[in-house]
Amino acid sequence: MITLITNIKELLQVREPGVQKVAGADMAHLPAIQNAYLLIENDTISDFGPMTECPKINADTEIDATGRTVLPSWIDSHTHIVYAGNRVQEFVDRINGLTYEEIANRGGGILNSAKRLNETSEEQLYEESKVRLEEVIRQGTGAVEIKSGYGLTVEGELKMLRVIQRLRENYPITIKATFLGAHAFPNAFKENHEGYLKVIIDEMLPKIAEENLADYIDVFCETGYFSVEETERIMEAGKRFGLIPKIHVNQFTAIEGIAACVKHGALSVDHLEIVSDEDIEVLKNSGTMPVALPSCSYFISIPYTPARRMIQAGLPLALASDFNPGTTPSGNMNFVVATACIKMKMTPEEAINAATINGAYALGIAETHGSITKGKKANVLITEPLHCYYELPYAFGSNRIATVLLNGKKVQ
């Protein structure tokens, strides 16, 4: 199956093999070819270049992209797409002045979602979750991480991870699964943290490994949730089962969790609404990708990740949606990119780099996704006709994505 896209106004994120991520000043550079072609063979990018060098070829499908921009699909490296029901009432509670912590103390938040999930059958959970997955595919996401963490029981966590596995088997989008049993302490273990840590380490992890249900392990390392010491114990246990850490940290407070994550070789540290100078120094020259979740900040009115300070310090940065029922009920990466530009003062080039190549690094798939590179997966977006790709974040309330290709095939 050969697909040829011709007359592309701007072909974005064109890179040679081997570029894993971009950092600091390099994030402002988005390599592009004007008036370009893109050749896809089966599910792989095989060639690209200016139209003056377009090969004469009998393609099975030819797409005329006159006036349109083509770029790699969005990579969403942090979501909670698998959940039951919703938390609409908490949305209203926040409008009425309650804080995240106050809602949690009233039985809302993560524990509210856990109660609903454990009352929901695996089949119903799958049916609800696939609707959300189909939506983000249509919006241009070509690879996604999905976490557990709303079970908080052995069976609940396994149920979530099995649903993620079914989604992976049934949809063309690349999916990575993360075990987040350490999302909150269940009511039964509020005063017995050690007891719940043993459930995670001695009961959940062996069963997850036995069924090969997860790629990564996560912990909500935060004041009032899991301490740095508890986070380290869980990371160590996860690594014994082959699970690489990807950790929630610094959403509300800076408690030296980032240093612990870097020490344990975390692939990413996510949220980072509060970042100290010490945190930035620790992240420099590490292999850990900082990940910002701007639509979470937008939805619950908390600070935004200090992107300018981090990029000026030479760090890389990725963007993700945090799609979840309580604090970000949207997986729209177009809005994430726009919000990063509008509220975090990232340039369009920086934001697109953060949502493609750096997102792929944060998801552990930089070898195969995140750029227009020969040999990478043919997961690409074709926009509506645009004056310039700056219109993608500029027209923040509009869907400017016209066509989505996953593995070289048009998504209907």
Rounded CA-CA distance 396/87 in Å is 25
* CA 270 centroid distance within chain: 9
Q: Is the pLDDT of residue 374 over 90?
A: yes
Query: Does pLDDT of 107 surpass 80?
Result: no
Q: Of all residues in the chain, what percent carry a pLDDT higher than 90?
A: 91
Mean local confidence (pLDDT), 15-37: 97
pLDDT value for 15: 98
Work out the average pLDDT over 5-9: 98
Is the pLDDT at 112 greater than 90? The verdict is: no
Which pLDDT score is estimated for 362?
98
179 band by pLDDT with thresholds 50, 70 and 90: very high
Residue 124's pLDDT is 96
Q: Average the pLDDT over 128-155 and give the result.
A: 97
CA dihedral 328, 330, 334, 339 (to 10 degrees): -30
What's the average model confidence in pLDDT over 203-219? 98
Task: Report residue 381 CA to chain centroid gap.
Answer: 17
Can you list the alpha helix ranges (DSSP code H) found in 44-153? Answer: 88-95, 100-105, 110-118, 122-138
Say what the pLDDT of residue 103 is. Answer: 85
Q: Can you read off the two tokens belonging to residue 220? A: 């909500």
Answer with the residue of higher pLDDT: 388 or 102: 388
Q: Distance between CA atoms of 220 and 226, rounded to whole angstroms?
A: 6
Query: What's the rounded mean pLDDT across residues 72-90?
Result: 94
Q: Three-class SS of residue 410?
A: strand
pLDDT given at position 105:
80
Q: Tell me how many degrees the CA angle 320-90-88 measures, rounded to the nearest 5.
A: 80
Beta strands 216-221; 401-406: pairing state: unpaired
Residue 270: pLDDT band (50, 70, 90) is very high
Query: What would the mean pLDDT of 71-87 be, rounded to a whole number?
Result: 96
Burial class (CB in 10 A: 0-12, 13-18, 19+), 339: buried
Q: How confident is the model at residue 146 (pLDDT cuts 50, 70, 90)?
A: very high
Average pLDDT on 49-69 reads 95
What is the pLDDT averaged over residues 189-209? 97
Q: What per-residue confidence (pLDDT) applies to 49? A: 98
- The CB density around residue 15, as the number of other CB atoms within 10 Å, is 18
Q: What is the pLDDT of residue 29?
A: 98
- Among residues 259, 228, 230, 262, the alpha carbon closest in space to that of 245 is found at 262
Instruction: Please report where in the chains the tokens 């609903």 appear, as a residue.
Output: 116
Mean pLDDT (the chain, rounded): 96
More confident residue, 246 or 104: 246
Which residues, in sequence order, are bridge partners of residue 69? 10
Q: Quick check: 389 pLDDT over 80?
A: yes
